Structure 1
Amino acid sequence: MPGFLLDLDGTLYHGDHPIPYAAEFIGWLKERGYPYVYVTNNSSRTPEQVADHLRKTGIDAAAQEVLTSSQAAALYLKDASLPPGPVLYIGEEGLRQALTEAGFEAVPADEAGQLDKAAAVVQGIDRSFSYGKLLAAVRHIRRGALSVLTNPDHLLPWNGELTPGAGSIGAAIERSSETAPVVIGKPSPVIMRYAVERLGLPPEEIWAVGDNLGTDIRGGADAGCRTALVLTGLATEENVSEQIARIGVQPKLVCRHLMELAERIG
């Protein structure tokens, strides 16, 4: 029985707008009992907020079906055997909740105050990022705190516009701290490992599905999964050949939309 790791924006919706056949595809998975996980690099939302957004675009979703880059970052920290100490974070509610639920003392970077040393600095998208937060992150990383970046996306598509992503903030922190972070989100093997474990299937039985060759497809291929590129987001019928040549990743299947993928899998 195949399993599925499903990207969100560009694959199931565009911002606030549903993508044709997305809801039908999720219904098809449910009818056949195929296991799946929504895997997102978005660190700002909690799993319940992700599921709520999916429901608003017409897709039946539940929080337990979601794996965010914030959740994967918290799992990574738990596995990293950190020294005692709080975790400094730059991010929004999704990151704060993931760290707190994992048992960490999560301290916002702008409230670091007289904190002597953090065990780790975790950074995601933060739409109130400031020089003060940059200063706190750099100070603690240079004192030895582990640097973790939830996802490397420099730009985020949203309702037809590209906006700065977590990777843009991460570039400033990396440059000034002179320390490369551990990257969690796609195409990193970190989030892919946790996603595969969530499904409980061998990677070769799993389809990694998405619209982005550089993250969804590369991450899936590197994890040993079968890969399916849908031409509903960053990759389109007009640019897919150029993107495959430029990025150097060849998906197993290229489909115009998700129900074409369903038909081809059978």
Structure 2
Amino acid sequence: MEIDGLILDIDGVISRGRKPIERAIEGYRMLKDAGIKVVFVSNNSTRSRRIMFERFASFGIDAEEEDLIIATHATAVYIAREHGKARIYTTGEPGLQEELQNLGHELVDYREAEFLVVGSNRGINFEIFTKALRLALNENIRYVAVNPDKVFPAEDGPIPGTGLIIGALYWMTGRMPDAIVGKPSKIIMEQAIERLGLDRDRVAIVGDQIDVDVLAGKNAGIKTILVLSGVTDESNYRKKVEEVGVEPDYVFRDLYEVAQRLTSSK
């Protein structure tokens, strides 16, 4: 397995909630010491890179902020590249709003918007849904979702993800987003590969979900490594492979085992 760069999922690979997974940080340091390039990709639609960077620093991970390809930031980048600076109405929380504004986008009332950007919101209400509905009904409005996640694995159990809003808007309008940025979309993956600066045949993604991480790697044309430290484990692996219809190239117990395998040949 000749790999020069890794795209690491965060939840289920590096951490569970606010706590690092056992041996994950040691595995990351082994990879860095061996000269393997690493970037991190997350579908999180409520956190900014700044917040995630601070959390990584508390874990003892010495990554640069630019190595964090968070779906909030990736969405802002995608819109800027496709359209330039845009007038946006978003359902999202302050983390998403921060990233959109950092790239020069203007957050406006729905009546003035060119884009509807849907991200998860733990305080969503009838007013937000109404404004999003009216924009989704307008075919001249570009509709972008930060990720397709139906649920999010919070520390005390699953909570509704961005899919709650996507699903509700589809039920009311029959319209799906014009673009979805997060995994398994190629959009966020291409930004991660660009950051690594390597040929994709030397790059692999490491994740814990077959329908998200492994499928994202297949869509991007890179190698796929599944770890059994998160959503997928030995008890449900075969069932999930059959449900999704794709299988990872490699399976390891955790990131530490991945690092052992990759660094043994360096």
Same fold at TM > 0.5: yes
Report the Cα offset of residue 62 of structure 1: 3.6
Q: Is the 8 A contact 2:116 2:136 kept in 1?
A: yes
Deviates most, 251-260 or 54-63: 54-63
Partner of 1:103: 104
Distance 2:189 2:250 in 1: 19
- SS of 2:153's partner is strand
Q: Does 1:65 align with 2:67?
A: yes
Report the Cα offset of residue 239 of structure 1: 1.4
Q: Is the 8 A contact 1:48 1:62 kept in 2?
A: no
Distance 1:51 1:45 in 2: 10
Deviates most, 50-59 or 194-203: 50-59
2:53 pairs, out of 48, 51, 54, with: 51
The superposition leaves residues 17-52 of structure 1 with CA deviations (integer Å, 9 ceiling, x where unpaired) of 221111011111221222111100002111121122
Partner of 2:126: 131
Distance 2:64 2:158 in 1: 28
Q: Is the 8 A contact 1:122 1:147 kept in 2?
A: yes
Equivalent residues in 2 for 1:252-263, closer than 5 Å? 252-263=249-260
Distance 1:17 1:131 in 2: 34
**Structure 1 residues 85 and 55, CA gap change in structure 2 (3 angstroms):** closer
Partner of 2:88: 87
Q: Is the 8 A contact 1:52 1:61 kept in 2?
A: no
Q: Does 1:162 align with 2:158?
A: yes
Q: Is the 8 A contact 1:213 1:243 kept in 2?
A: yes
Q: Is the 8 A contact 1:117 1:140 kept in 2?
A: no
Partner of 1:21: 23
Q: Is the 8 A contact 1:85 1:117 kept in 2?
A: no
Distance 2:58 2:105 in 1: 32
Q: Is the 8 A contact 1:206 1:225 kept in 2?
A: yes
What is the TM-score when the length of structure 2 is the normalising length?
A: 0.92
**Structure 1 residues 200 and 61, CA gap change in structure 2 (3 angstroms):** closer
Report the Cα offset of residue 61 of structure 1: 3.7
Unaligned residue ranges in structure 1 (runs of 5+): none
Deviates most, 232-241 or 46-55: 46-55
Cα RMSD, aligned residues only:
1.7
Aligned amino acid, residue 163 of structure 1: I
Percent pairwise identity: 33
Partner of 2:209: 212
Q: Is the 8 A contact 1:7 1:39 kept in 2?
A: yes
- SS of 2:175's partner is coil
Report the Cα offset of residue 160 of structure 1: 5.1
- SS of 2:83's partner is coil
Report the Cα offset of residue 212 of structure 1: 0.5
Distance 2:86 2:255 in 1: 45
Report the Cα offset of residue 234 of structure 1: 0.7
What is the TM-score when the length of structure 1 is the normalising length?
A: 0.92
Q: Is the 8 A contact 1:41 1:185 kept in 2?
A: yes
Q: Does 1:146 align with 2:142?
A: yes
How many residue pairs get aligned? The number is 259
